[in-house]
Structure 1
Amino acid sequence: MSDLSIRSLSKAFGGVRAVNEISFDIKRGEFLAMIGPNGAGKSTCFNMINGQLAADSGEIWFEGKRLTGLKPREIWRLGVGRTFQVAATFGSMTVVENVQMALISHAGESYRLWRPAASFHRERALELLDQVGMRAHADRPSRELAYGDVKRIELAIALANDPRLLLMDEPTAGMAPGERNDLIALVKRLVIERGISVLFTEHSMDVVFAFADRIIVLARGRLIADGDANSVRADPKVREVYFGTGKTFANAGAEA
Structure 2
Amino acid sequence: MTEILRVENLRKSYDGFLAVNGVSFSVAQGELKALIGPNGAGKSTCFNMLMGQLRPTSGQVFFDGENITGHKPRDIWRRGVGRTFQITGTYQSMTVIENVQMALMSHHRKIFSIAPRAWKLYRDEAFEFLRTVAMEEQADRPCSILAYGDLKRLELAIALCHRPRLLLMDEPTAGMAPSARIELMQLTADIVREQGVSVLFTEHDMDVVFAHSHHIMVLNRGELIADGNAAQVRNNPQVQEVYLGGGTLFKEDSHA
Q: Would you say same fold, with TM above 0.5?
A: yes
Percentage of pairs with the same residue:
55
Cα offsets for 1:167-212 (capped at 9, x unmatched): 0000000001110000000000011110001000000000000000
1:60 matched to 2:61: yes
With 13-22 and 110-119 compared, the bigger mean Cα shift is at 110-119
Amino acid at match of 1:235: N
Contact 2:38 2:252 (8 Å CA) reproduced: no
The answer as to whether partners of 1:84 and 1:171 remain within 8 angstroms in 2 is yes
Deviation of 1:4 after TM superposition, in Å, equals 0.2
2:17 is matched with 16
CA contact (8 A) 2:60 2:67 kept: yes
- Specify every segment of 5 or more residues in structure 2 that has no aligned partner in the other structure, as ranges: none
Match of 1:131 in 2: 132
Tell me how far apart the structure 2 counterparts of residues 115 and 3 of structure 1 sit (CA, whole Å): 40
Q: Is the 8 A contact 1:46 1:167 kept in 2?
A: yes
Q: Is the 8 A contact 1:97 1:117 kept in 2?
A: no
1:85 aligns with 2:83: no
Q: Does 1:51 align with 2:52?
A: yes
Counterpart for residue 41 of structure 1: 42
- Contact kept? 1:34, 1:217, Cα under 8 Å: yes
CA distance in 2 between counterparts of 1:202 and 1:24 reads: 18
Contact kept in structure 2, 1:9 and 1:55, CA below 8 Å: yes
Distance, in Å, in 1 between the alignment partners of 2:63 and 2:155 is 23
Name the amino acid aligned to 2:153: R
How far is 1:120 from its partner? 1.1
**Structure 1: runs of 5+ lacking an equivalent:** none
* Structure 2 counterpart of 1:233: 234
User: Offset at 1:253?
Assistant: 2.6
Residue 254 of structure 1: aligned partner: 252
Aligned residue-pair number: 253
Letter in 1 for 2:143: S
- Whole-Å Cα distance in 2 between the matches of residues 228 and 255 of structure 1? 23
1:242–1:248 CA contact under 8 A, matched in 2 = no
**Runs ≥4 in structure 1, deviation > 6 angstroms?**
none
1:94 pairs with 2:121: no
Deviation at 1:255, TM superposition (A): 4.5
Query: Normalised by the size of structure 2, how large is the TM-score?
Result: 0.96
Is the CA contact 1:39–1:220 (under 8 Å) kept in the aligned structure 2?
A: yes
**RMSD across aligned C-alpha pairs, in angstroms?**
1.1
Q: Where in structure 2 are the equivalents of 1:1-256 lying within 5 Å?
A: 1-243=2-244, 246-250=245-249, 252-255=250-253
CA contact (8 A) 1:54 1:68 kept: yes
Distance in 1, Cα, partners of 2:109 & 2:25: 33
How far apart are 1:166 and its partner, in Å?
A: 0.5
- SS of residue in 2 equivalent to 1:74: helix
